[in-house]
Amino acid sequence: MKYVTGIFAALLAVLLLFMYPLYEQARSQDKLANAVVQGAAVRFVDNVRTKGYITPRIYEEFNAQLAATGNQYDVELEHLHKRYSPDYSDPADPATFRGSFTTFYDGFYNEQILPVLFPDNGRSSDDPSRRYTMQVGDYIGIRLKNVNRTAAVQLWDFLMNDNTEENAAILMNYEGMVLNEDY
């Protein structure tokens, strides 16, 4: 019985003196990565909002800032283009215009944005055709989440004898309205 108690005390001491500080250090690394990701996303979206466009250089600088955290991210861009539709009592008769408009948004995502930024035409990154443009009143947003298992998630799973299905320890959503058309 004394040996079992001694072994248990030794395991508890190792757990408290080694594993828990290691886990807390990994969690603080995730918190720092989250702060870097948040800052990079805010700078990227605010830069795009004030310019009214995205260039390959702006997007690559943003990705370089994300890479500095040592994590891999799923980046989802969203551009909501503002559109107006006139209101008619009878859509087939233009004379029935009610004098008002309905506002709606067309959504554009990575599938539409990235081919403009990175086409297969060999043009330089400064070429105006590689600029994704937006209009004042549109919305630009970004969603980020890490796709790799961070050290904190791995240590937590080890300590709890668990298998966390969700890898995302770093999540970020940010969006805003386009304020300028500087192109």
Instruction: Report how far residue 177's alpha carbon sits from residue 79's, in angstroms, rounded to the nearest whole number.
Output: 10
pLDDT of 1 strictly over 70: no
Estimate to the nearest angstrom the gap between the alpha carbon of 158 and the chain centroid: 28
Lowest mean pLDDT among 74-83, 96-105, 118-127, 172-181: 118-127
Which of 79, 136, 135, 82 shows the shortest CA–CA distance to 104? 82
As a whole number of angstroms, the longest Cα–Cα distance in the chain is 96
pTM to 2 decimals?
A: 0.80
Structure tokens at 102: 């309905």
Instruction: Report how far residue 171's alpha carbon sits from residue 33's, in angstroms, rounded to the nearest whole number.
Output: 10
**Are the C-beta atoms of residues 153 and 166 closer than 8 Å to each other?**
no
Instruction: Report how far residue 24's alpha carbon sits from residue 22's, in angstroms, rounded to the nearest whole number.
Output: 5
Give 28-42 as a DSSP string: HHHHHHHHHHHHHHH
pLDDT at 144: 93
Burial tier of 126 (Cβ tally within 10 Å: 0-12, 13-18, 19+): exposed
CA dihedral 55, 60, 63, 69 (to 10 degrees): -140
Mean pLDDT within 99-116: 94
- Tally of CB atoms within 10 A around 37: 23
pLDDT of 165 strictly over 70: no
Domain ranges of the chain: 2-177
Which of 58, 62, 60 shows the shortest CA–CA distance to 38? 62
pLDDT, mean over the chain: 87
pLDDT of 79 strictly over 80: yes
Chain segment 108-162, per-residue pLDDT in tens: 999 999 999 999 888 888 888 999 999 999 999 999 998 887 777 777 777 677 7
